Chains A and B, each alone.
Chain A
Amino acid sequence: SQKIEQNSEALNIQEGKTATLTCNYTNYSPAYLQWYRQDPGRGPVFLLLIRENEKEKRKERLKVTFDTTLKQSLFHITASQPADSATYLCALDVSNTGKLIFGQGTTLQVKP
């Protein structure tokens, strides 16, 4: 079966450390992968998109990697801050039509 898996356990880290979140998928061959941030009671907000031919993408303190062989994307937040606390969702366009399938998200808690 087709699956997108993110660690369902919350990730707790200390302020200033690097947070690393994982997104694994099976039986898909997406042309690109996206990461979204979702705060409690709010809609997701787009953060980064990485294409299959890109190994790494950066935006300010955020970095995403995409390994199509391992079928895995890693999402890094460097110098994390309490304001980074949120749920982070990965999403794949599994049919190359623009429709996204989301993972269930990983909740990040950054402690001061």
Chain B
Amino acid sequence: DAMVIQNPRYQVTQFGKPVTLSCSQTLNHNVMYWYQQKSSQAPKLLFHYYDKDFNNEADTPDNFQSRRPNTSFCFLDIRSPGLGDAAMYLCATSSGLAVMADTQYFGPGTRLTVL
């Protein structure tokens, strides 16, 4: 089945130690998104790629970076995780072919713990 895969499902890191979360998709979608979701809160968009074009949200801290080496893979890098960065990180994709009505397909998420 076509899907969005996130690895690892659970990640523990130390305060200030860089960490990378990965996302892959078999849907061949043009758009890939990264969201941060804290407990009982709305998913918050960090940034997205339309093909190779990177689009950062204005309020996304510089501590968060992303790479998309090819259509299938997208990475979220947190350069110096703080305690406030502990959250669920969700990767999503959309086709990008119907901008006015494009649904998103989410991965299972990576739960990040910062010690």
Binding site for B on A (CB under 8 A): 4, 8, 31-32, 34, 36, 41-46, 49, 51, 89, 93, 96-105
Contacts and interface: CB of A to CB of B under 8 A. Distances in A.
B92 to A, nearest CB: 7
B80 to A, nearest CB: 26
B45 A99 contact: yes
Interface string B40-51: 111111001000
Contact of B40 (A96, A99, A101, A104): A104
Contacts of A103: 42
Interface string B1-43: 0001000000000000000000000000001010000001111
A51 B106 contact: no
B99 A41 contact: no
Describe A's contact surface by its main secondary structure. loop
Contact of B42 (A31, A41, A96, A104): A104
B105 interface: yes
B96 A98 contact: yes
Contacts of B103: 34, 46, 49
B81 interface: no
A42 B109 contact: yes
A46 B105 CA distance: 7
Interface of B: 4, 31, 33, 40-45, 48, 88, 90-92, 94, 96, 99-109, 111
Contacts of B4: 43
B106 A102 contact: no
A105 B42 contact: yes
A3 B100 CA distance: 21
Scoring A43, A45, A105 by chain B CB atoms within 10 A of each residue's CB, the highest score goes to: A43
